[in-house]
Amino acid sequence: MIKPHGSEQLNPLYVQDAAAREALAKEAEGLPSLLLNSAAAANAVMLGAGYFNPLAGYMNLADALSVAEKLHTVDGLFWPVPIVNLTSESGIEAGSRIALRDPNVEGNPVLAVMDVEAVEVVSDEQIDFMAEKVFRTLDPEHPGVATFKGLGRTLLSGPIQVLGFSYFESEFPETFRTAYQIRAEIAERGWNKVVAFQTRNPMHRAHEELCRMAMDDLGADGILIHMLLGKLKPGDIPAEVRDAAIRKMVEVYFPENTVMITGYGFDMLYAGPREAVLHAVFRQNTGCTHLIVGRDHAGVGDYYGGFDAQTIFDEEVPAGALELEIYRADHTAYSKKLDKVVMMRDAPDHSKDDFVLLSGTKVREMLGNGIAPPPEFSRPEVAKILMDYYQNL
């Protein structure tokens, strides 16, 4: 199986031994505590699950700035996005051991225990520098920029031990999986070549066929449909609705033992190209050999060019930095001429009118009015789940 990023073995930061975990939880109740923001909590979940291998905890300021500027830590580890614990709280001292509390679960239980190696004040200029490098904009209307700039100016760095996976295990027991659980299942299924499909949306016909195209082109053993389960921007479809729609699509339209439906506990960054690279890093950690990167991958609005998330792998990712490879996808749509879904680049003789193309706004309007999109665009079983959701808003 493909090696994890940056190490020979995966090193999840979740304390897997039950007795050790219980002892740590007991210790945590007596420690000073910090209520995390959702972004720092999501980072802890990803560290615990092994997705952010080989990181041992939150980055210090030097590493965060280096990653933002050069896509590697001071020591040279390739990494595309700062993994930080920014807070507005004061009074925490370097050298202390603290309990990190979960902002997303009632009662704010302890999510992790942190050994604070450094406490650094980040200037507004440094925050702007990191934001501009990661998001390619400082526009306050960009949801990722707005979130990042609102996290606080005190940066706590150091290793963590993780006690749980926030609300993801309880709310999505069938879907949430750690990187080490996915690696184990891939091995159990006997898959060698595995293609990851990233989604924060329901999957329409074009997405479904794109997975098939990638499998066929690469001769892959299976597809990992890997959906984001954390926080999104207003207006995005909730995870439980997406989960139901994707499960129905796979159940009806894919052969058995060709698809794993899983999810990960992270908040969407909307960082376009940089987030695409982060997706590649942590899909390698799950054991996938390929990641589908399509048009406007992890984008929002008009902040990124349609294929910037592909060209970053040519222009900024050093050769050999990743073992995983990307599968480059074009805009995919149903061709009326050919009576099937194709990548638009593969149909140079087509005009726009030869494709079934619907905007997101138009689809939402149809669903809200109880009108199913045409079957060339959306499977009827999927459309019904989405119609039920939109009509109950």
The string of DSSP letters for 115-136 reads E--EEEEPPHHHHHHHHHHHHS
How far, in Å, are 170, 377, 378 from residue 207 at the CA level? 28, 10, 10
Q: Express each pLDDT in 309-329 by its tens digit.
A: 999 999 999 999 999 999 999
Contact (Cβ atoms closer than 8 angstroms) between residue 190 and residue 163: no
C-alpha span between 377 and 27 (Å, rounded): 54
Per DSSP, which regions of the chain are E strands?
A: 33-35, 57-58, 85-87, 97-101, 110-115, 118-121, 154-162, 194-199, 222-228, 259-264, 290-293, 325-328, 332-335, 340-343, 355-356
Q: Express each pLDDT in 131-187 by its tens digit.
A: 999 999 999 999 999 999 999 999 999 999 999 999 999 999 999 999 999 999 999
**pLDDT (average), residues 56-80:** 98
pLDDT of 31 higher than 90: yes
pLDDT band at residue 364, thresholds of 50, 70 and 90? Answer: confident
pLDDT of 206 higher than 90: yes
Contact (Cβ atoms closer than 8 angstroms) between residue 48 and residue 13: yes
Among all residues, which ones are annotated catalytic?
200-201
CA atoms within 13 A on the CB side of 131: 22
Q: What pTM was computed for the model?
A: 0.95
Cα 108 to chain centroid distance, Å, stands at 24
The string of DSSP letters for 241-298 reads HHHHHHHHHHHHHS-TTSEEEEEE-------THHHHHHHHHHHHHHT-SEEEE-TTTT
pLDDT band at residue 283, thresholds of 50, 70 and 90? Answer: very high
| Equal fold, 18-166 vs 175-264+270-391 | no
C-alpha span between 16 and 302 (Å, rounded): 43
- The CATH class given to the 18-166 domain equals alpha beta
pLDDT reported for residue 360: 79
Q: What is the CATH code of the structural domain delimited by 175-264+270-391?
A: 3.40.50.620
Q: Express each pLDDT in 324-341 by its tens digit.
A: 999 999 989 999 999 999
How many other β-carbons are positioned within 10 Å of the β-carbon of residue 152?
Answer: 18
Per DSSP, which regions of 295-367 are E strands?
A: 325-328, 332-335, 340-343, 355-356
Contact (Cβ atoms closer than 8 angstroms) between residue 201 and residue 229: no
What ranges do the domains of the chain cover? 18-166, 175-264+270-391
What mean pLDDT value characterizes the chain? 96
Beta bridge partners of 158: 58
Beta bridge partners of 261: 225
Count H helices and E strands in the chain, helices first: 13, 15
